[in-house]
């Protein structure tokens, strides 16, 4: 030891233990990219109650993790397909007669 440099000791209280795991900052706790987040996409009503109900159902995916979206999308797809099938099954107005048809 040299007389020109005084010996210093670090008090035990000043030693900060290393954390066992990763340290989370305040930002990390507030933003979790894997957490469900609403897309806030506006849905325009179509005027067809069945279709509009299915469009509203899409909002349920906003509160689910990504792996839960497929169930909602399949349900909406099924509902929209049923709504289109129902439109095809409704009787429409009678078709006008063809000009070359003969009436008896």
- 20-40 pLDDT, tens digit per residue, is 666 666 555 677 776 777 777
Indicate the pTM of the whole model: 0.52
Cα 49 to Cα 45, 52, 83, 86, 96: the distances in Å are: 9, 5, 9, 12, 29
Among residues of the chain, what percentage have pLDDT more than 70? Answer: 66
Which are the contacts of 7, defined by CB distance < 8 A and separation ≥ 6?
1
Give the confidence band of 102 by pLDDT, cuts at 50, 70, 90: low
Q: Is the pLDDT of residue 76 over 90?
A: yes
Question: How far, in Å, CA of 36 to CA of 59, rounded?
Answer: 12
Please report which confidence band the pLDDT of residue 77 belongs to, taking 50, 70 and 90 as the band edges. Answer: very high
Report whether pLDDT(53) > 60: yes
């Amino acid at each position: 030891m040299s007389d020109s440099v005084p010996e210093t000791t670090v008090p035990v209280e000043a030693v900060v233990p290393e954390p066992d795991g990763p340290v989370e900052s305040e930002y990390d706790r507030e933003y979790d990219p894997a957490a469900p987040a609403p897309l806030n996409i506006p849905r325009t009503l179509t005027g067809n109650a069945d279709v509009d109900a299915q469009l509203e159902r899409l909002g349920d995916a906003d509160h689910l993790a990504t792996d839960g979206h497929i169930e909602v999308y399949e349900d909406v797809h099924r509902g929209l397909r049923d709504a289109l099938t129902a439109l095809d099954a409704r009787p429409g107005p009678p078709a006008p007669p063809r000009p070359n048809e003969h009436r008896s």
